[in-house]
Amino acid sequence: MLKLRLLQPERSFFVLKSFCLSLIDAGVGLPFLTASIKTNIMKDLKKKHCVPCEGEAEPLNSLQINDYIKNISPEWKVIDNKKIRREFTLKDFKGSMAFINTIAPIAEEEDHHPDIHVYYKEVIIELTTHAIGGLSENDFILAAKIDDVDVSGL
């Protein structure tokens, strides 16, 4: 039985999750166990919260990114395995600003902030974890929460 002594309990989930994903990527474990771990890790990103991610963490690898991207809107695109991007088309500039003002409090609450580009009625959201130079689970958590924003009236 594997026992872990957690020196930083607040980071324990993130560390354990990273460890499990690295085992999965290495092909360690029984197939049903691998599927079970993946399912539990990916379970409802919208209900999760971003955790502080320092430079010591590793960016997600391409296999992990492929698992996470399946759990958010297909409109999100992976760019160079370093960020995800989604384009939104609103009714006009005022709608663009309303959309940004809707997602800003979500980003603040999660303490994870997107790069936002505005072109009149088009808004492009890019997510990356700058501290690690690539993608982390935080990017997919925030993407899932942005997916929940209703833009139909904007």
Q: Which CATH superfamily is domain 44-51+59-147 in?
A: Transcriptional coactivator/pterin dehydratase (3.30.1360.20)
Residues 6+ apart with CB under 8 A from 140: 45, 68, 69, 71, 72, 84, 127
Are 136 and 129 in contact, with CB atoms under 8 Å apart? yes
Domain boundary assignment for the chain: 44-51+59-147
Alpha-carbon span 55 to 39, nearest angstrom:
27
Q: pLDDT tens string for the chain (154 positions)?
A: 444 444 545 555 555 666 666 666 665 554 544 455 545 555 588 889 989 876 678 999 999 999 999 999 999 999 999 999 999 999 999 999 999 999 999 999 999 999 999 999 999 999 999 999 999 999 999 999 999 999 998 8
- CA atoms of 32 and 34, how far apart (whole Å): 5
Q: What is the dihedral of CA 71, 4, 23, 136, to 10 degrees?
A: 40
Is the whole model's pTM more than 0.85, yes or no? no
Measured distance CA(151)–CA(73) in Å, rounded: 14
C-beta separation of 23 from 29 below 8 A: yes
